[in-house]
A and B are shown apart, each in its own frame.
Chain A
Amino acid sequence: MANSKGKVRWHIAVFLAPAVLVYTAVMIYPLFNTLRLSLFTEIDQARVWVGLDNFRTLFGNAIWSDQFWNALGNNAWFFLIHMLVQNPIGVALAAILSSPKLRFSAFYRSAIFIPTILSFVIVGFAWKLILSPIWGIAPGMLDAIGLKFLYQPWLGKEEYALTTLSLVSVWQYVGIPMMLIYAALLSIPDEILEAGECDGITSMSAFWKIKLPLILPSIGIISILTFVANFNAFDLIYAAQGALAGPDFSTDILGTFMYRTFFGFQLQLGDPHMGSAIASAMFGIILVGVCIYLFGIQRRLRSYQF
Chain B
Amino acid sequence: MTKSPRTSGTTIAAHAVLITYTIIALFPVFVILINSFKTRKAIFRDPLALPNAESFSLIGYETVFKQGDFFLYFQNSMIVTVVSLTLILLFGSMAAFALAEYRFKGNTLMGLYLALGIMIPIRIGTVAILEMMVSTGLVNTLTALILVYTAQGLPLAVFILSEFMKGVSDDLKNAGRIDGLSEYKIFFRLVLPLVRPAMATVAVFNMIPIWNDLWFPLILAPAEEVKTLTLGSQVFIGQFVTDWNAVLSALSMAILPVMVLYVIFSKQLIRGITSGAVK
Contacts and interface: CB of A to CB of B under 8 A. Distances in A.
A25 B132 CA distance: 10
Contacts of A258: 126
Nearest to A294: B119
A266 B152 CA distance: 31
Main secondary structure of the interface of B (DSSP, over half): helix
A69 interface: no
A22 B48 contact: no
A6 B128 CA distance: 40
Nearest to B266: A110
Interface stretch (B50-58, B62-70, B195-203, B208-216): B208-216
Nearest to A280: B124
B270 A15 contact: no
Given A27-B117, A126-B28, A129-B32, A119 B212 contact: yes
Given A30-B132, A34-B124, A117-B258, A9 B102 contact: yes
A120 B212 contact: yes
Identify the interface centre among A33, A92, A136: most chain B CB within 10 Å of its CB.
A33
A111 B26 contact: yes
Interface in B128-182: 128-132, 147-148, 150-152, 154-155, 158, 174, 177, 182
A232 B269 CA distance: 24
A262 B126 contact: yes
Contacts of B98: 12, 15-16
Identify the interface centre among A19, A25, A115, A129: most chain B CB within 10 Å of its CB.
A19
Contact of B121 (A12, A110, A118, A228): A228
Interface residues of B, number: 95
Identify the interface centre among B126, B187, B266: most chain A CB within 10 Å of its CB.
B126
A232 B239 CA distance: 27
Given A130-B31, A140-B47, A228-B119, A19 B95 contact: yes
A272 B129 CA distance: 11
A112 B127 contact: no
Given A9-B102, A22-B147, A27-B125, A290 B119 contact: yes
A126 B94 contact: no
Given A27-B117, A122-B254, A234 B275 contact: no
A265 interface: no
A283 interface: yes
A77 interface: no
A275 B113 CA distance: 26
B26 A255 contact: no
B154 A19 contact: yes
Interface string A28-49: 1111011001000000000000
Interface in A98-145: 99, 102, 104, 108-123, 125-127, 129-130, 135-137, 140
The 10 A-B pairs of least Cβ separation, nearest first, read A119-B212, A30-B125, A19-B95, A33-B128, A26-B151, A30-B128, A15-B98, A183-B274, A31-B125, A19-B91
26 contacts: A11-B182, A18-B91, A19-B91, A20-B95, A22-B91, A26-B151, A31-B124, A33-B125, A34-B124, A37-B128, A89-B21, A96-B17, A112-B22, A113-B266, A114-B259, A117-B261, A119-B254, A121-B237, A130-B31, A180-B273, A224-B119, A232-B123, A276-B128, A279-B124, A283-B124, A286-B119
